[in-house]
């Protein structure tokens, strides 16, 4: 016994389970105790969950190989690991086609009977429900189905329809179930002694397993299903709240209530999905579903109750070598539910632990013994201390969020679209009100595009609504910039809540309570790119949604996929359905006009011309580059504040981003100097040094240092040290003159990240202007690559390029300054410096950004060019002999954007000038190969475009073949862009030769 238990801690695998069970069995046999009695006095119940057999005579040999492996695996688990199922749950799709009754007979002969024999169980503990493949789709009546879907569009009318037409067994009502005639015949051959109430639509059973009273209901989700292979039924099915309530009411007194249903909940019509899910939660039922190709066990909880849902995988689907085949065993104890996931491996023709979906092929979930209270009283939902902490947190967040004058923003779903009338707030509201309990929304935009302002305004709106009505979600606003370490560990949310004095029990209560909306602002302000959900922190929140903001330039399209999609705990795959991204589009002329009109209403001035919005509008249109700059909300704000002085001082020629910021900051400091009655003029130096040091350390926020950052001039050091430390009571007064703000005690940040970038650029420019030595010192500490805003400011700042060229030349013999040389090359290139005539052989510039550089016929031999970006560079006859070029980036492959879902097929015209693509978004698109422009979207498809081909005559005779159920073959011709239809039911798309598109359009399809 001691050796057995000792081995448990050495090897925690299925062998562990074996020794635990053996040890417990020996002890219990000695003590005369039932060996299946759990730790808390409740007997364990073990269930085998199998789904989606898809029995088909043509695939019988392959199916038998998988089934033989299944029976052998169950025997192994029973004999070696004492995993013995008490009952079997099958969630639909016995057969590939419900139109063929003989396939049901094969399913019983080769699956049901030998399965139950291998488990030493009688067939009356085999419980099953129909799947969409079990229906006879030849008897599917589209008119009846569409009539029901169109008529019964809410809970009340659907329940009435159920009461009058579905609940009672009535021969006159069989038209609603005629697609299930073969399944009903198959089911009638089972004499289940546990059945307590037979119905046409559902079945109810009661039995006792080792003292545990089980209630099982087999629900029908396929009575309106089409039987189709694709997603045509998704979001269109009806189960009906009354079906679920009627069934669960009959087993309400059972210890455990189990519901079987083929389709997952998200395949139901929205209102019915909510009703049905809430019914399961109210009754604390365990829900088993099928239909999906891979298993997804999960437990979720909200204010209504807990729901344990196993979405089962497929036992067989057409190809045992390439497709997933698997099953699960569920062991239920009083305090937890264990799930053993098993996967078929054709190499060896065996089942084994499914380590792709769970560590060691095993998951467990805690079970709550009581449902959450249904009381609506505020005190019942949350104790007073939690309410007090929430109020304190919301008030503090609100006090730190500045919501300036706001003009509604627009957005698009494509970063290439810069002109849109789609309302950002409306799109975000759709996300917040969507069906998923959790989800991730990424809001992208340029620096100053209004991302943070929008979120601050939305937070204020949600904070005002909370907790009104008892249903409003709790908004939590978190600045990501200073939280890099805790973001990497996944602890940053809990850490932020602890800052507001929440203890762990209060945090756990929030996780299981009402909805929460997390605003994670400024992802680009983290010191490096981090997978935001690497530690699965969000999975601990049962009803949370996340809104993330980030600069567009900070990310690539692949980053969106890799960094922001949650990963399913079971499948370990990205959750694509729960992720959305929106791109804030630049201000339109209409938005600029609205902003100007609002601005002049707040302006205090004696000069009447500046009280007229048309004055600004005219200047914006007349002055070079100003219209483009005005499309950015932050820059527009700075422009309207600086334009009068720029015009007055005749500085129109300096109107670029740098010139506008310089004038804006000059005015700022001038006002502060007057306000503070200060004769000192260290504001610029203070802000520059602070910004540069924060940049070097990769910080967005900084704490007061214990020693001076400035180590050169004593007089300057003394004053600046007092500004940054608490040794002098005047430090706060001087610091208040700079555009920085307090985040918390002792911690400060610039009011906008672009201010920090501007001051950091000024400090670098100052160092460059003082000579090579100072330039090397400033540039050798961190690469500027990726800091597009700082580089942009430096490119517009007038300066001598000689010091930068000297650094490049010195790097040939001094490898210690390669970072400085790389930055020098980046700045020179950003200034569009002409390198012609300069000897660049042997320079060391790893990581430099030389995008669009012109280096034709130049000598870069023996240079260190590792990780240099040569995107869109001119390198004709450039000598790169002997250069180090690991990681050099010359650009990216072109891609086409337009489809909203997966692309299923692509073809290229014989002349190589056109591309045709077919997608699951139900569209066919034709593109120009040279320009990438979209040429046309031929109409006619009502479902996914799965395959296409182009005739030898060329793209003007292209055809896309799509075979929807019951519609024949659709042929889309691009000659004059029209659609024709042909009736044909046998097309081999992989070998088909399109001899003549005219023959196809006429209804004749050559079939080899």
> How many whole angstroms separate alpha carbon 41 and alpha carbon 47?
19
Task: Return the residue matching tokens 């909306």.
Answer: 517
Cα–Cα distance between 616 and 293 in angstroms, integer?
60
Per-residue pLDDT averaged across 410-429, rounded? 89
pLDDT of residue 326: 92
Q: What's the pLDDT at 770?
A: 83
Residue range 120-125: mean pLDDT, rounded: 92
- Which pLDDT belongs to residue 121? 92
Do the beta carbons of residue 236 and residue 269 sit within 8 Å? Answer: yes
For position 962, what pLDDT does the model report? 44
Q: Which pLDDT band, with edges at 50, 70 and 90, does 53 fall under?
A: very high
> Is it the case that residue 301 has pLDDT exceeding 60?
yes
Specify the residue for token string 């209403």. Answer: 601
- Residue 535 and residue 422 share a domain: yes
Q: To which residue do tokens 């969950």 refer? A: 49
| Backbone dihedral region for residue 861 (phi beyond 0: left; psi -120 to 50: alpha; all else: beta) | beta
pLDDT of 798 higher than 70:
yes
Three-point CA angle 512, 516, 520, nearest 5°: 130
How much is the average pLDDT of 860-864? 94
Do the strands 45-50 and 87-90 form a parallel or antiparallel pair, or are they unpaired? parallel
What confidence score (pLDDT) does residue 842 get? 94
**pLDDT in the model for residue 107:** 94
**What's the pLDDT band for 637 if we cut at 50, 70, 90?**
confident
- Print the domain residue range for 928: 903-1001
Q: 684 pLDDT band (50/70/90 cuts)? A: confident
Query: Distance (Å, rounded) from C-alpha 910 to C-alpha 730?
Result: 77
Position with higher pLDDT, 704 vs 209: 209
Which secondary structure element, helix H or strand E, spans residue 289, and what is its range? strand 286-289
Q: Name the 3-class secondary structure at 185.
A: helix
Residue 421 and residue 560 in one domain: yes
Identify whether residues 1 and 58 lie together within a single domain.
Answer: yes
Assess whether 501 and 456 both reside in one domain: yes
CA dihedral 458, 460, 462, 466 (to 10 degrees): 170
**Number of domains comprising the chain:** 4
Mean pLDDT of the chain: 78
Q: How does residue 382 score in pLDDT terms, banded at 50, 70 and 90?
A: very low
Q: In this structure, are 915 and 848 located in the same domain?
A: no
Return the pLDDT at 165: 76
Q: CA-CA distance, 171 to 175, in Å (whole number)?
A: 9
In a domain? residue 845:
yes
Specify whether 782 is located in the same domain as 908: no
Decide: 627 and 621 in contact? Cβ < 8 Å: yes
What value does the mean pLDDT take over residues 389-396?
85
What residues have CB less than 8 Å from 373, skipping those under 6 apart?
A: 380, 381
Structure confidence at residue 172 (pLDDT): 56
Residues 802 and 870 in one domain: yes
Percent of the chain with pLDDT over 90: 25
Lowest-pLDDT choice from 233-242, 287-296, 816-825, 958-967:
958-967
Better pLDDT: 985 or 157: 157
For 928-977, the pLDDT digits (tens) are 887 788 888 887 788 888 888 877 655 544 444 444 433 444 444 444 33
**What's the CA angle centered on 630, arms 624 and 632, to 5 degrees?**
135
Model confidence at 217, pLDDT cuts 50, 70, 90, reads very high
Give yes or no: residues 823 and 966 share one domain.
no
Phi-psi region of 421 (alpha: psi -120 to 50; beta: other; left: phi over 0): alpha
High-pLDDT (> 70) share of the chain, %: 77
Neighbours of 61 (CB within 10 A): 8
Q: For 424-442, write each residue's pLDDT tens digit.
A: 998 998 888 876 666 889 9
Q: Residues 847, 927: one domain? A: no
Q: Could you tell me if 927 and 894 are in contact, meaning their C-beta atoms sit under 8 angstroms apart?
A: no
Is it true that the peptide bond before 501 is cis, omega within 30 degrees of 0?
no
Q: Within a domain: residue 252? A: no
Give me the pLDDT at residue 783, please: 92
- Higher confidence at residue 264 or residue 12? 264
313 part of a folded domain: no
Which residue, 1003, 999, 964, is CA-closest to 984?
1003
Between 614 and 700, whose confidence is greater?
614
d(CA 781, CA 697): 10
Better-scored residue on pLDDT, 677 or 942: 942
Which residue would you say has higher pLDDT here, 824 or 191? 824
Residues 317, 293: contact at Cβ < 8 Å?
yes
Q: Is residue 206 part of a domain?
A: no
Q: Is the pLDDT of residue 48 over 60?
A: yes
486 found inside a domain: yes
Tell me which of 131-140, 219-228, 533-542, 815-824 is least confident. Answer: 533-542
Mind giving me the DSSP string for 486-508? Answer: HHHHT-HHHHHHHHTT--HHHHH
**Higher local confidence (pLDDT), 803 or 964:** 803
Tokens 């910004």 found at: 691
Choice among 398-402, 710-714, 936-940 with the minimum mean pLDDT: 710-714
Higher pLDDT, 371 or 881: 881
Is 400 domain-assigned?
yes
The verdict on residue 764 lying in a domain is yes
Q: Order of strands across the sheet with 978-982?
A: 947-950, 958-962, 969-973, 978-982
The string of pLDDT tens digits covering residues 476-494 is 999 887 787 788 788 888 8
Confidence at residue 735, expressed as pLDDT on a 0 to 100 scale? 63
Percent helix, strand, coil in the chain, to 5, is 40, 20, 40
- Check which CATH number belongs to the domain holding 555 and give it: 3.40.50
Higher-pLDDT residue of 382, 808: 808
Structural domain includes residue 622: no
Which of 466-470, 525-529, 889-893, 959-963 has the least mean pLDDT?
A: 959-963
631-640, 734-743, 833-842, 917-926: which has the minimum mean pLDDT? 734-743
- For residue 656, how many other CB atoms are within 10 A of its CB? 18
Contact 548, 525 (CB under 8 A): no
User: What does the block give as tokens for 96?
Assistant: 């590939």
Question: Measured at the alpha carbon of residue 874, what is the angle toward residues 872 and 880, in degrees to the nearest 5?
Answer: 115
Same domain for 551 and 433, yes or no, is yes
Quick one: 570 and 521 in the same domain? yes
Per-residue model confidence (pLDDT) at position 91: 94
Whether residue 844 is found in the same domain as residue 954: no
């Amino acid at each position: 016994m001691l050796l057995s238990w000792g081995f448990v801690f050495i090897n925690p695998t299925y062998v562990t389970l074996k020794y635990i069970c053996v040890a417990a069995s020996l002890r219990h046999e000695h003590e005369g105790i039932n060996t299946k009695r759990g730790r808390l006095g409740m007997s364990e119940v073990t269930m085998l969950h199998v789904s989606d057999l898809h029995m088909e005579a043509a695939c019988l040999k392959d199916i038998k190989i998988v089934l033989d492996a299944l029976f052998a695996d169950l025997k192994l688990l029973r004999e070696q690991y004492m995993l013995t199922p008490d009952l079997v749950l099958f969630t639909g799709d016995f057969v590939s086609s419900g139109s063929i009754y003989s396939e049901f007979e094969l399913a019983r002969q080769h699956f049901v009977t030998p399965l139950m024999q291998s488990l030493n169980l009688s067939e009356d503990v085999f419980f099953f429900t129909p799947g969409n493949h079990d229906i006879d789709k030849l008897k599917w009546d589209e008119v009846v189905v569409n009539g029901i879907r169109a008529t019964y569009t809410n809970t009340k009318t659907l329940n009435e329809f159920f009461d009058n037409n579905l609940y009672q067994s009535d021969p006159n009502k069989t038209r609603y179930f005629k697609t299930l005639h073969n399944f009903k015949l198959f089911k009638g051959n089972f004499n289940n002694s546990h059945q307590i109430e037979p119905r046409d639509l559902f079945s109810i059973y009661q039995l006792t397993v080792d003292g545990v009273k089980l209630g099982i209901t087999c629900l029908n989700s396929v009575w309106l299903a089409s039987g189709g292979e694709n997603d045509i039924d998704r979001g269109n099915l009806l189960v009906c709240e009354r079906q679920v309530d009627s069934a669960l009411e009959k087993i309400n007194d059972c210890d455990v209530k189990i519901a079987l249903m083929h389709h997952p909940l998200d395949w139901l019509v929205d209102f019915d999905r909510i009703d049905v899910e809430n019914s399961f939660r109210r009754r604390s039922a365990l829900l088993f579903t099928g239909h999906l190709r891979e298993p997804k066990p999960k437990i979720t909880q909200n204010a209504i109750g807990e729901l344990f849902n196993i979405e089962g995988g497929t036992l067989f689907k057409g190809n045992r070598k390439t497709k997933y085949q698997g099953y699960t065993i569920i062991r239920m104890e009083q305090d937890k539910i264990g799930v053993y996931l098993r996967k078929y491996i054709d190499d060896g023709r065996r089942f084994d632990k499914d380590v792709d979906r769970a560590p060691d092929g095993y998951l467990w979930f805690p079970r709550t013994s009581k449902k959450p209270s249904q009381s609506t009283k505020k005190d019942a939902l949350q104790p007073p201390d939690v309410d007090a902490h929430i109020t304190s947190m919301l008030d503090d967040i609100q006090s730190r969020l500045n919501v300036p004058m706001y003009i509604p923003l627009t957005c698009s779903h494509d970063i290439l679209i810069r002109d849109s009338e789609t309302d950002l707030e409306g799109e975000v509201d759709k996300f917040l009100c969507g069906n998923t309990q959790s989800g991730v929304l990424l809001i992208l935009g340029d620096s100053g595009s209004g991302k943070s302002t929008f979120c601050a305004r939305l937070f204020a709106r949600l904070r005002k609504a909370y907790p009104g009505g008892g249903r409003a979600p709790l908004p939590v606003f978190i600045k990501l910039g200073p939280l890099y370490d805790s973001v990497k560990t996944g602890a940053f949310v809990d850490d932020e809540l602890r800052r507001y004095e929440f203890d762990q029990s209060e945090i756990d209560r929030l996780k299981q309570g009402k909805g929460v909306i997390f605003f994670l602002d400024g992802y680009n302000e983290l010191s490096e790119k981090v997978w935001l959900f690497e530690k699965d922190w969000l999975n601990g929140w049962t009803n949370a949604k996340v809104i993330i903001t980030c600069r567009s330039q900070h990310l690539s399209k692949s980053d969106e996929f890799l960094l922001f999609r949650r990963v399913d705990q079971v499948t370990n795959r990205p959750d694509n359905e729960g992720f959305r991204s929106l791109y804030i589009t630049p201000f339109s002329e209409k938005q600029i006009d609205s902003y100007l009109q609002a601005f002049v209403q707040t302006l205090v001035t004696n000069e009447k011309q500046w009280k007229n919005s048309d004055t600004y509008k005219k200047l914006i249109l007349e002055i070079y580059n100003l219209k483009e700059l005005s499309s950015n909300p932050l820059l527009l704000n700075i422009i309207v504040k600086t334009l009068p002085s720029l015009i007055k001082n005749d500085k129109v020629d300096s109107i670029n981003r740098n010139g506008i910021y310089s004038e804006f900051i000059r005015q700022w400091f001038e006002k502060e100097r007057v306000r503070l009655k200060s004769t000192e003029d260290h504001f610029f130096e203070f802000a520059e040094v602070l910004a540069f040091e924060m940049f070097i350390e990769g910080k967005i926020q900084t704490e007061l240092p214990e020693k001076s950052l400035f180590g050169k001039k004593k007089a300057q050091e003394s004053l600046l040290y007092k500004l940054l430390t608490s040794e002098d009571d005047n430090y706060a007064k001087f610091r208040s003159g700079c555009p920085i703000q307090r985040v918390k005690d002792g911690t400060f940040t610039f009011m906008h990240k672009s201010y920090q970038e501007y001051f950091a650029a000024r400090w670098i420019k100052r160092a460059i202007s003082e000579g090579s030595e100072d330039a090397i010192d400033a540039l050798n500490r961190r690469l500027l690559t990726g800091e597009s805003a700082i580089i942009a400011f430096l490119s517009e700042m007038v300066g001598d390029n000689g010091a930068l060229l000297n650094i490049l030349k010195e790097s040939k013999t001094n490898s210690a300054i390669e970072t400085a040389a790389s930055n020098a090359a980046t700045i020179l290139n950003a200034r569009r410096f002409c390198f012609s005539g300069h000897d660049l052989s042997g320079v060391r510039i790893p990581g430099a950004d030389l995008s669009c550089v012109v280096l034709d016929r130049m000598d870069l031999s023996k240079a260190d060019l590792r990780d240099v970006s040569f995107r869109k560079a001119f390198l004709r006859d450039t000598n790169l002999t002997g250069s180090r070029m690991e990681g050099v980036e010359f650009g990216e492959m072109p891609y086409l954007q337009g489809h909203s879902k997966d692309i299923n097929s692509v073809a290229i015209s014989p002349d190589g000038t056109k591309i045709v693509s077919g997608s699951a978004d139900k569209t066919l698109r034709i593109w120009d190969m040279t320009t990438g422009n979209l040429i046309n979207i031929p109409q006619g498809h009502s479902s996914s475009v799965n395959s296409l081909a182009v005739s030898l005559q060329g793209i003007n005779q292209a055809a896309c073949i799509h075979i929807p159920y019951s519609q024949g073959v659709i042929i889309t011709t691009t000659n004059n862009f029209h659609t024709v239809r042909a009736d044909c039911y046998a097309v081999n798309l992989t070998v088909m030769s399109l001899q003549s598109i005219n023959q196809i359009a006429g209804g004749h399809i050559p079939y080899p």
